[in-house]
Chains A and B, each alone.
Chain A
Amino acid sequence: MAQWPHERSLVKNLAGKPFALIGVHIKYGGDDDASIVKKVMVKAQLNWRSFVDRGAIADKWKPAGTPAYYIIDSKGVIRFKWAGAPGAKAIYAALEKLIQETEKDAKKSPK
């Protein structure tokens, strides 16, 4: 997929930061089990964790299609969302902003 190279480099570049890319593999009409999704992920070197949806997640979240993205901050609040790919720049800018926020908060209140 067009967005995979960008997502691979995101995960690489943000290693060590308070960040995680989490996939939600949508089943659409098929009956994809985890092993099929796993095979694709290994082959395409998708180095992150993904839910393998059997329908329950899509029923609730109702993405208009794929790809669709949500960016959730460290407190669990939705801060950005896109239906369709907004482009590498927009995603990176949003993540950078929130990661900085998170790092600032961590400094203010050290555990």
Chain B
Amino acid sequence: MLFMSVALAEVEGQDKPATPAEKYQALLKERQDAKLPLKFLELAEENPKDPVALEALIQTVSIVNGTAFPTGGKDSPGERALTLLRRDHIRSDKLGLVCQQVLFGFHKSHEEFLRAVLETNPHPEVQALACLSLAQFLTDRLNRLDLIKDQPDLAERYRGVFGKDYLEELQRQDRAAVAKEAETLFDRAAERYADVQIPVTYFGSGGAVGDKAKAELFQIRHLAVGKEAPEIDGEDQDGARFKLSDYRGKVILLDFWYRL
């Protein structure tokens, strides 16, 4: 669809104003423009019925979430793009990638988007990524909650980086309930969507949903604070075989390291 409309425009010459598809292609080439998320968003807002609108909104979300701290208030391009994706494209088969991109977000809107996709989207591949991403989003939230409990001075930094509202909402979370929901979602991802492939993103290297979900479940069930440490059986630097449990009775600092 997209390519066809570009081809038509070329045949007809360049005198006419550029089509939405042409504008989209031109924006794709402007990689350095700080206003790019806004420009893609405006293109989508101006042409809500054009097929390029969905692509443009996905671009906005993708660029905004290309950093570990996708900040921005309610009226930021990223937030507006998510609102439009929910309003106009919630049933699209292209939302899987978007789900993976917002999972490191922290706004309520990110969570709401993932929940809406999981509930409404009819495509199993998209449901799979919404399910996995929501579970990862909740896990990330729990990690932040644990960090501020452990290091109270970090809460002040969170207030600065994420804002007062975020911090207060984080502190209101019911840890046990969130943990339970995350575990249930990982279970569901591992059971129903094991073979769906995760798209490669800035943050992740792909793989199967089932493998990722199972690894996360292992973390929750065996490697969380309060769980009995799994056995390690291996060789030391002299080639001698030993086990972690050989040191039962002692406090162990287990140190994952690399020689460089």
Contacts and interface: CB of A to CB of B under 8 A. Distances in A.
B225 A79 contact: yes
Interface string B235-257: 11111001011011111111111
Contact of B256 (A69, A73, A76): A69
Of listed A7, A72, A80, residue having the most chain B CB within 10 A: A72
A23 B255 contact: yes
A76 B251 contact: no
Given A78-B223, A102-B251, A66 B257 contact: yes
A109 to B, nearest CB: 12
A32 B237 CA distance: 11
Interface residues of B, number: 36
B29 interface: no
A52 B235 contact: yes
A63 B253 contact: no
Contact of B250 (A24, A74, A78, A91): A74
B13 interface: no
A22 B252 contact: yes
A24 to B, nearest CB: 5
24 contacts: A7-B255, A18-B251, A19-B250, A19-B252, A20-B250, A50-B236, A51-B232, A51-B234, A51-B235, A51-B236, A52-B235, A53-B234, A54-B234, A66-B256, A67-B256, A69-B254, A70-B252, A72-B254, A78-B224, A78-B226, A78-B228, A79-B225, A95-B253, A102-B251
A78 B215 CA distance: 18
B128 to A, nearest CB: 21
A63 B242 CA distance: 21
Given A52-B236, A60-B218, A60-B230, A28 B225 contact: no
B193 to A, nearest CB: 20
B215 A71 contact: no
Contacts of A25: 237, 257-259
Nearest to A21: B253
A69 B232 contact: no
Interface of B: 151, 215, 218-219, 223-230, 232, 234-239, 242, 244-245, 247-260
A61 to B, nearest CB: 7
Contacts of B254: 22, 24, 69-72
Q: Determine the interface band of chain A, counting residues with CB < 8 A from chain B.
A: 35 or more
B259 A22 contact: no
Nearest to A105: B249
A57 B232 contact: yes
Contacts of B218: 60, 62
Given A51-B234, A51-B235, A68 B256 contact: yes
A91 B215 CA distance: 26
Contacts of A10: 253
A109 B59 CA distance: 64
Contacts of A72: 229, 244, 251-252, 254
Contact of B235 (A34, A58, A60): A34
A80 B237 contact: no
B234 A56 contact: yes
B52 to A, nearest CB: 38
Contacts of A78: 223-229
A77 B223 contact: no
Interface string A2-38: 0000010010000001111111111010001010111
